[in-house]
């Protein structure tokens, strides 16, 4: 089930009413209800893969309890290995089996051998990378003695499967979200109002802006050999915006949905396209994943404590793993390597540029442009397609700009939406609390804005004919 679907439009109001009217009277009953509705939410896509969430939850609940009691280092490492083997094993099989088999065959074919190893017809379970990392953080935190295990099995299962952030994050840490399943909940009008407003804002970003950008991008990428010049330039720029708007929209809806149920999720984006360096960018982009890699890969490898060379090595390892996390393709690995190089080699230059405050705009534009170029590998299906897109970048064929799914009026409207969004983020970046300003306005003003937002989504939403896929981009990861 996806947020921008009729099914969710029926599902969520029913869950909300039942949650607050019938199943919030005791913690155990509420958590069981959340498990059931979360499994329904996920199983709507394919019920067979619910077994993976159940196994992952059960293994880590048992391992976590045993880890906390065990004093022997050898046994503790063995228990951690069990958790890693089960979780990474499941993730590796479903997501990477065919990738490694194909890479193995291609490597041997290069030397004149052709191993007869067949790939399998494997369906990638939605959200497997997200909930696997979430439950792994629980076991790892107990292993490193940063967390005590949950004594509430229903609360833990609800934590792993919590439907607002189950399939595309934020990737929550147990120490932040898990205790919330042991708390008594009372409906809070302020949380309800802010949550619903955040959901509407997310739907607006997804349906009106991101899906409109997708139409132009898809039209260029479907036949990259036939496009060149300005259409390709705009496709590259538009995809950088689409990826951000689409994913942050999901996070907004997830955070808003959870908030209406009395839960607080972590912020996942913090105006990344206003970053003045790549290190700053990765502190603002997909924060829950970036911090996960920092805590569980970068720091255990030694972080920046073992000299400059080791630091660069650790950064590159993190980015290569990050690329592979995003998808079973060498394109994603290349994308990760490129961004690792940006961080290692370009941040020193950007630091010098940023010594003058007036140069922050220049460095922010440079970071955003280089990031957009790296995303060509992220968006392309193959390495050759990415190279083709790079070769087609130029400043010609301006007359064909409106031939790619968006006519002149709609193209200009799209540009207006992007400018509006960036101005909105610049205002927020200057610490202007737009929400507090908004709720301080008279009721008639606030409800007029609600109505306008709803009308905008209905009237200007990009759906129907010409829209190939309305799924959120990060569902594929």
pLDDT of residue 98: 75
pLDDT tens, position by position, 47-56: 888 999 999 9
Closest CA to 90 of 54, 60, 52, 123: 52
pLDDT of residue 49: 87
Q: Is the pLDDT of residue 458 over 90?
A: no
User: pTM score, two decimals?
Assistant: 0.91
pLDDT of residue 2: 86
Helix 27-46 vs helix 6-21: angle between axes, to the nearest 10 degrees?
A: 170
Could you report how far apart the first and last alpha carbons of the chain are, in Å? 16
**Mean of pLDDT over the chain:** 88
pLDDT of residue 473: 78
pLDDT of residue 66: 93
pLDDT tens, position by position, 293-341: 999 999 999 988 888 899 999 999 999 999 999 888 899 999 999 999 9
pLDDT of residue 437: 82
Q: Contact, 275 vs 353, CB < 8 A?
A: no
DSSP 169: -
DSSP 207: I
CA dist 244 and 222 (Å) reads 21
CA dist 194 and 199 (Å) reads 9
Question: What residues contact residue 174 under an 8 Å CB cut-off, 6+ apart?
Answer: 134, 137, 138, 141, 147, 150, 159
Residues in a beta bridge with 393: 229
* Percent of residues in the chain assigned helix, strand, coil, to nearest 5: 75, 0, 25
Q: Is the pLDDT of residue 99 over 90?
A: no
pLDDT of residue 14: 95
Q: Is the pLDDT of residue 372 over 90?
A: yes
The predicted model gives 145-149 an average pLDDT of 91
Token readout for 170 is: 């934020």
pLDDT-derived band at 464, boundaries 50, 70, 90: low
pLDDT of residue 65: 92
Closest CA to 477 of 240, 170, 124, 46: 124
pLDDT of residue 430: 86
pLDDT-derived band at 80, boundaries 50, 70, 90: very high
Q: Is the pLDDT of residue 134 over 60?
A: yes
Least confidently predicted of 54-63, 123-132, 196-205, 286-295: 123-132
Residue 326 bears catalytic tag: yes
Q: Is the pLDDT of residue 240 over 90?
A: yes
Among the listed residues 186, 271, 286, 326, the single catalytic one is 326
Backbone angles phi, psi at 229, to 5 degrees: 75, -140
The predicted model gives 349-365 an average pLDDT of 77
The predicted model gives 161-171 an average pLDDT of 90
């Amino acid at each position: 089930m996806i947020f921008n679907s009729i099914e969710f439009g029926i599902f969520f109001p029913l869950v909300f009413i039942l949650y607050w009217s019938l199943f919030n009277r005791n913690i155990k009953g509420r958590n069981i209800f959340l498990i059931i509705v979360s499994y329904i939410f996920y199983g709507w896509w394919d019920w067979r893969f619910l077994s993976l969430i159940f196994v992952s939850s059960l293994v880590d609940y048992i391992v976590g309890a045993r880890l906390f009691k065990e004093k022997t280092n050898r046994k503790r490492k063995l228990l951690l290995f069990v958790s890693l083997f089960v979780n990474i094993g499941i993730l590796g099989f479903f997501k990477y089996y065919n990738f490694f088999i194909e890479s193995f065959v291609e490597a041997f074919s290069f030397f004149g051998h052709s191993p007869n190893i067949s790939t399998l017809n494997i369906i990638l379970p939605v959200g497997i990378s997200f909930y696997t990392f979430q439950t792994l953080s629980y076991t790892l935190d107990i292993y490193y003695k940063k967390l005590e295990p949950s004594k509430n099995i229903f609360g833990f299962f609800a934590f792993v499967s919590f439907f607002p952030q189950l399939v595309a994050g934020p990737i929550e840490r147990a120490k932040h979200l898990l205790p919330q399943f042991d708390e008594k909940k009372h409906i809070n009008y302020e949380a309800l109002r802010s949550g619903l407003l955040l959901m509407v804002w997310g739907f607006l970003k997804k349906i009106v802006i991101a899906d409109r950008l997708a139409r132009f991008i898809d039209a260029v990428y479907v036949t990259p050999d036939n496009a060149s010049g300005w259409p390709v330039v705009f496709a590259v720029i538009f995809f950088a915006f689409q990826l951000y708007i689409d994913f942050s929209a999901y996070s907004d809806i997830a955070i808003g949905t959870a908030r209406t149920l009395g839960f607080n999720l972590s912020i996942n984006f913090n105006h990344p396209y206003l970053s003045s360096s790549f290190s700053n960018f990765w502190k603002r982009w997909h924060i829950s994943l970036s911090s996960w890699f920092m805590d569980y890969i970068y720091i255990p490898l030694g972080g920046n404590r073992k000299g400059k060379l080791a630091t660069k090595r650790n950064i590159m390892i993190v980015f290569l793993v990050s690329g592979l996390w995003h998808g079973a393709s060498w394109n994603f690995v290349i994308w990760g390597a490129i961004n690792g190089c940006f961080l290692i080699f370009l941040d020193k230059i950007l630091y010098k540029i940023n010594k003058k405050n007036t140069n922050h705009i220049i460095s922010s534009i440079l970071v955003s442009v280089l990031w957009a170029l790296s995303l060509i590998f992220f968006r392309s299906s193959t390495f050759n397609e990415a190279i083709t897109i790079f070769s087609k970048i130029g400043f010609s064929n301006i007359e064909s700009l409106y031939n790619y799914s968006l006519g002149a009026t709609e193209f200009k409207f799209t540009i207006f939406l992007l400018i509006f969004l960036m101005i909105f983020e610049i205002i927020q970046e200057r610490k202007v609390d737009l929400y507090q300003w908004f709720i301080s306005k008279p009721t008639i003003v606030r409800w007029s804005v609600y109505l306008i937002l709803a009308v905008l989504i209905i009237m200007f939403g990009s759906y129907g004919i010409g829209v190939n896929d309305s799924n959120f981009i990060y569902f594929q990861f």
